[in-house]
Amino acid sequence: MSQTPRIIPIPVSCRLTGGAPFPLTAHTVVATGGEASLRGVAGQLAKLLGVAAAESAPAGGNLIALRVDPALTAKLGAEGYLLTVTAGGVSIRGGGAAGVFYGTQTLRQLLPPDLERFGWRAGGGGLTVAALEIEDRPRFSWRGSLLDVSRHFSPVAEVKQYLDTLALHKLNVLQWHLVDDQGWRIEIQQYPKLTSVGAWRDSTVRVGDEPNLDDIPHGGFYTQEEIREVVAYAAERFITVVPEIELPGHSSAALAAYPQFGNTDAPGYAPKVQSRWAIFPETYAPKPETLAFLDHVFTEVLALFPSKFVHIGGDEAMKDQWEASPTTRAFMQANQLQDGHELQSWFIRRTENFLTQHGRRLIGWDEIQEGGLAPGAAMMAWRDVKWAIEAARLGHDVVMAPTSHTYFDYSEGTAEEEGGAIGAQTGLEKVYAFDPIPAELEPAHHGRVLGAQGQLWRERMPSLPVVEHRAFPRLSALAEVVWSPVARKDYADFRRRLPWLLARLDRLGVNYRRPRQATLPAAIPMVPHA
Ligand code: ACM
């Protein structure tokens, strides 16, 4: 084929096979062959197309056949798939149910954007898909996005909409930043004040008018039932929700609710749910009641989130209150901890032990490495990829989330263009150019890089439309970074394909940012394309 298909992220290979196209009509049936693990995938595809789903194929039917093929698992992995389109039918075979799901997302992008609203009717008399064969599998297993709901809260419906958009991009991890100084957002039944007190702040610093406060209360939290609902919704889209429960710092909201778990004898100790964007001195104190509290919190968290990885934050913990508290200083002395960095490591190691005993794995921001990384811990590099290189060489799994390329709270354009975003100019092309495998990292350690993640820190993103405006299409570019083979990456070609994705986001009501010099066609033509 002379041009790559208009799919983002670009598949590993795509071959137009010639011959007549597949007609998508009112009579098309999505068939699973009775495979229970595909019922949800089939239901979602049938709903999108506006056609029926069936367990078995009706004779002579116009079929989209979904199948898990164990023979493909070895070749393409559980997330890989083969998509074959002929006049007689569409076949999507996956190495696992996830692969089949990704095949359906590719089929979706082979159909015009109006599909999103009208299903098969989008073409008037039906639609066609060109005869082709696509073989595909992801480059990385961690294809993530962090959503901060502490600085600004999003109700469940918004989180679901965000998950929908991640799924379209074949992204598979939502790091849910549930806890920070400005709000605690997850119900913990044993500690009700975490949400009755910790989920609410009385005011927020005004965007563009800092440091003035708006005097408007802000808050919200997810009940455990809502958390389960989001986790299940994500799972149907093959997205793992990784909860982030920050410790030992970023704990002002928790300590506002339960001050007894902090350094109560540090002079001036008075925790509150914070209204400003800064780093605050509140840290958990290493005393038995605090450790019991943390264990109880994690016990409830683990019951809600099946994710193997649990993110414990670990970033930006100020050491001041530990140093200022006679009790904490005595604890450090008794445990031969030289300084705050070693106490920070002590907290992380203890949490790592707890998670390991419960069959989980700890992941944390790169500061957790400063006093030595716990043996099985994974690390998320944000300040600099050099931390990831060091950790990978020591045999730790790493996820790349550097401020330089993946912080989408940083502006895309100049400060004048952006009105309030952090003025670092992380443009679309820069994001696209990111390679999660650093050039300096020896090939023997490449397997330690699980993938990469785009961050949506919401100090200056009060609502979902603003989040979407910062996220897309930069997260679309990052999706191609983490999914597609390096040999398939081509920025000019990505920009050629992008208008079709943006037209689709239009139909879905996603408030993406229109890229500069975008060559958006006036109208996306209603023709099958590949
Ligand atoms: C971070 O941005 N503090 C991880």
Digit-coded pLDDT (tens) for 185-229:
999 999 999 999 999 999 999 977 888 999 999 999 999 999 999
Over range 139-156, report the average pLDDT: 98
Domains of the chain as residue ranges with CATH = 13-136 (3.30.379.10), 142-508 (3.20.20.80)
Ligand 1 centroid to Cα of residue 456, in Å, is: 11
Report the pLDDT value the prediction gives residue 262, as an integer from 0 to 100: 98
Residues with Cβ within 8 Å of 326's Cβ and at least 6 positions away in sequence, in order, are 265
Closest CA to 207 of 413, 412, 403, 419: 419
Amino acid identity at 43: G
Using CA atoms of 146, 150, 151, 152 in order, give the dihedral in degrees to the nearest 10: 90
Per-residue pLDDT reduced to its tens digit, 27-65: 999 999 899 999 999 999 999 999 999 988 777 779 999
Taking each helix axis from N to C end, the angle separating 288-304 and 340-357, rounded to the nearest 10 degrees, works out to: 40
CA 390/CA 382 separation, integer angstroms: 13
Q: Best mutation site among 245, 247, 280, 315 for ligand 1, i.e. most ligand atoms within 8 A of its Cβ?
A: 315
Per-residue pLDDT reduced to its tens digit, 476-511: 999 999 999 999 999 999 999 999 999 999 999 999
Report the pLDDT value the prediction gives residue 126, as an integer from 0 to 100: 78
Over range 12-19, report the average pLDDT: 95
Amino acid identity at 168: L
- For residue 365, is pLDDT > 90? yes
Q: Judge if the beta carbon of residue 422 lies within 6 A of ligand 1.
A: no
Residues carrying an active site annotation: 180, 250, 316
Which atom of ligand 1 has the smallest separation from the CA of 403? 2
Backbone angles phi, psi at 427, to 5 degrees: -80, 170
- For residue 368, is pLDDT > 60? yes
43-57, 99-113, 412-426: least confidently modelled range: 412-426
By CB atoms closer than 10 A (0-12, 13-18, 19+), residue 331 is middle
Determine which residue's CA is closest to atom 2 belonging to ligand 1. Answer: 382
Band of pLDDT at residue 1, cut at 50, 70 and 90: very low
Burial 192-230 (b: 16+ CB within 10 A, else e): eebbebbbbbebbbeeeeeeeeeeeebbebbeeeebeeb
Tell me how many degrees the CA angle 331-334-335 measures, rounded to the nearest 5: 85
